[in-house]
Amino acid sequence: MSRIVGHLDLDYFYAQVEEVEAPSLKDTPVLVCVFSGRTEESGVVSTSNYKAREYGIKSGMPIALAKRRLDGVPASFIRMDLGKYKAYSDRVMEILRGEVGVLEQTGIDEAYFDITKRTGGDYANATALALGLKQKILSEEKLSCSIGIGPNKVVAKIASDFKKPDGLTVVRSGDTRSFLSSLSIDKISGVGPKTAKLLEENGITTMPDLASTPTERLEDLFGKKLAVYLHNASNGLDDEPVVDGGGITQLSRMITLKHDTHAVDKVVDDLLPALREVHERLVSRNLFFRNVSAIGIAKDLSLHTKSKTLETPTNDYPVLEKEVRELFAALLPEVGDLRRAGVRMSGLQDMVDQHSLTEFTS
């Protein structure tokens, strides 16, 4: 089965969150700023919406310069609020995890995921999964994102950046070389201005130039490791596995409650179909879980969790439901009304390991 990897990146992330919280901002430039506090204008732009980018606004630009570029244009300069963006990020990652299983988060607004098994190595299935994911993040968090699908991480990352915002770019394994051939070398993740300049000074200016440069020649310029990476990446090749952040696989699912509530029974009732669904996924993959978490999102959109580690891993549904009920009974009095609720099973392990464990201990 050929590997299929995805990369998701949220569009103009911090600025988009500000738009979600104040939709009236949407039609005008929105700039999220880090004010250093010395003067009213000292500091830099963290990011901006696409409307602002039409005026040449860029991340890292001094606020004073941005103000000059937007002279006479109604625009919002908003103070960066990392806690708020992190809360959105956590919830998006929960949604993503629920859909794809293992994911490797590489930034506040982006992650890789391996969907080879889930799609049976079929790109049509992968496309459908990506569209469903975009829809889900949009309906639950009102956020748009761009997704790239490809045979490996390097290609998936370039693909997610290919069409932005609200993009989906699928590059089948046979098409990687033609996809890459028209792109500039600095589209390869990890190629910064310094590397690009050194390549250019050596007459390597296009992706096909790089792809056809022998690794040995690149080695003289960059050393073995980077040389091999550049050669492979420009040829659309990459073996790096998608590594789950904590090294533990997890299964999770979030739902929006029918009504905001702090009643355990109501929360668990609404959650039952989702519980059965994650349990089915657990069983279909021959896995046991050791940790279980109740996840709650309050009315102010803050994220809360309570977790429990079982003495012995299990795949027993009644145990799952009972533990989830108890965890919510502990969580709800602390948090109050929930808007959304979810469950996560982690510390997953193969049934095979489990059998050998019981053989060993009995």
119, interface contact from Ca ion, ligand DCP, none, CB < 5-8 Å by kind: none
List interacting residues with Ca ion (CB under 5 A).
9-10, 13, 107, 109-110
Cis amide bond preceding 165, omega within 30: yes
Catalytic residue among 110, 216, 280, 311: 110
346 contacts 249 by C-beta, under 8 angstroms: yes
**Angstrom distances, CA of residue 127 to CA of 132, 148, 192, 290, 350:** 9, 10, 30, 32, 29
Sites for ligand DCP among residues 302-331 (CB under 6 A): none
Report the candidate in 172, 167, 150, 148 with the shortest Cα–Cα distance to residue 159: 148
Residue 229 binds ligand DCP, judged by CB under 6 A: no
Minimum distance of Ca ion from residue 337's CB (angstroms): 32
Q: Shortest approach of ligand DCP to residue 11 CB, angstroms?
A: 4
Catalytic site residue 110?
yes
Name which of 186 and 321 has its Cβ closer to ligand DCP.
186
Binding-site string for ligand DCP from residue 339 to residue 358, where x marks contact by CB under 6 A and - marks none: --------------------
Shortest approach of Ca ion to residue 250 CB, angstroms? 22
Ranges within 48-107 binding ligand DCP (CB under 6 A): 59-60
Q: Are 98 and 252 in contact (CB under 8 A)?
A: yes
Q: Which does 47 bind (CB under 5 to 8 A by kind): ligand DCP, Ca ion, none?
A: ligand DCP
Report H helices in 150-303.
153-162, 176-181, 193-201, 207-212, 215-222, 224-234, 264-284
Rounded Cα distance between 52 and 334, Å, is 41
φ, ψ at 91 (rounded to 5°): -70, -40
What distances in angstroms separate CA 86 from CA 45, 109, 159, 206, 328, one per listed residue?
Answer: 18, 9, 25, 37, 23
C-beta closer to ligand DCP: residue 156 or 278: 156
For ligand DCP, the closer of residues 9 and 94 by Cβ is: 9
Quick check: 9 binds ligand DCP (CB under 6 A)? Answer: yes
Amino acid at 5: V
Q: Does 208 bind ligand DCP (CB under 6 A)?
A: no
Q: Which residues are catalytic?
A: 110
Tell me which residues touch ligand DCP (CB under 6 A): 9-14, 46-47, 59-60, 109, 164-165
